[in-house]
């Protein structure tokens, strides 16, 4: 009995193991060093994006990938994730689409930016701007794109500046400039919106899977990653 699956099956069926059952297992299942684990890619089956905003903004029939789509966490992804968190900077990842003719770079959000998105959506909901759940989901998607798209096919988008939240005072109302960027996405084709949104979903899958594995001694365990 040489594989982990065989041993686990025998244990489940009988409740015990003999010395013969596990003979030779250690030699055939060598321990993976920390350095080797960090440098090897880990492929996981995509199930559900962990970011609740991303999930809420998704139109599952049009935007979700086919069941069983695999996401590979490459060593470069781990390096970018670790450097961003330790250095308190943005994590960015670039993807190629349309046969390499289109480059899309996505960046991570800050907690303040997430708060700004939620407050803006709540404000627009109170103003009665949404006539259906799909209207609200599409608006939420545009608000997220305004913060997380760093570059689209050569056009770079700067990090939104303060104020991030609408300010009302005696002298008037100051609306955040980033809301205009969200409005601009309505001028993009539906196909391009869907392509870019797919890159955001892929980014979030990687980002949150690495977050959930941050407590591992070797940071990432390729076997049983989620």
* Selection from 106, 110, 118 nearest residue 157 by Cα: 106
Q: Are residues 53 and 21 in the same domain?
A: no
* Selection from 104, 77, 15, 86 nearest residue 225 by Cα: 77
* Selection from 112, 185, 175 nearest residue 155 by Cα: 185
Residue 137 placed within a domain: yes
Task: Write out the residue range of the structural domain in which residue 18 sits.
Answer: 1-30
Q: Are residues 116 and 191 in the same domain?
A: yes
Residue 35 placed within a domain: no
- Residue 70, helix vs strand vs coil: strand
Q: Are residues 125 and 166 in the same domain?
A: yes
Q: Are residues 15 and 47 in the same domain?
A: no
Calculate mean pLDDT across residues 61-70: 56
Q: Are residues 15 and 55 in the same domain?
A: no
Q: How confident is the model at residue 80 (pLDDT cuts 50, 70, 90)?
A: very high
Query: Omega into 34 within 30° of 0, i.e. cis?
Result: no
Residue 224 placed within a domain: no
Give the other-Cβ count within 10 Å of 159's Cβ.
11
Which tens digits make up the pLDDT trace of 148-166?
999 999 999 999 999 999 8
Residue 106 placed within a domain: yes
User: What percentage of the chain reaches a pLDDT higher than 70?
Assistant: 72
- For the ranges 6-15, 87-96, 148-157, which has the lowest average pLDDT? 6-15
Q: Are residues 46 and 10 in the same domain?
A: no
Domain count, the chain: 2
Q: Are residues 158 and 61 in the same domain?
A: yes
pTM assigned to the model: 0.76
Residue 79 placed within a domain: yes
Is residue 69 within 8 Å of 46, Cβ to Cβ? yes
Q: Are residues 15 and 80 in the same domain?
A: no
Question: Is the pLDDT score of 39 beyond 80?
Answer: no
Residue 156 placed within a domain: yes
């Amino acid at each position: 009995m040489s594989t982990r699956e065989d041993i686990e099956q025998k244990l489940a069926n009988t409740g015990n193991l003999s010395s013969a059952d596990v003979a030779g297992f250690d030699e055939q299942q060598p321990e993976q060093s920390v350095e080797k684990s960090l440098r090897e890619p880990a492929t996981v089956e995509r199930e559900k994006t962990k970011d609740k905003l991303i999930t809420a903004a998704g139109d599952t029939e049009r935007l979700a990938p086919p069941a069983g789509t695999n996401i590979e966490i490459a060593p470069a992804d781990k390096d970018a994730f670790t450097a961003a968190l330790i250095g308190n900077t943005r994590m960015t990842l670039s993807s190629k689409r349309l046969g390499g003719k289109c480059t899309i770079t996505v960046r991570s959000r800050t907690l303040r930016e997430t708060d700004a998105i939620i407050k803006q959506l709540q404000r627009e909901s109170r103003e009665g701007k949404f006539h259906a759940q799909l209207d609200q989901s599409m608006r939420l998607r545009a608000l997220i794109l305004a913060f997380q798209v760093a570059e689209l096919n050569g056009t770079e988008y700067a990090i939104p500046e303060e104020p991030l939240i609408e300010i009302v005072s005696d002298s008037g109302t100051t609306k955040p400039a980033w809301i205009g960027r969200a409005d601009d996405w309505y001028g993009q084709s539906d196909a391009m919106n869907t392509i870019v949104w797919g890159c955001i979903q892929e980014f979030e899958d990687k980002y949150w899977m690495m977050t959930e594995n941050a407590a591992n001694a070797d940071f990432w365990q390729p076997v049983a990653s989620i």
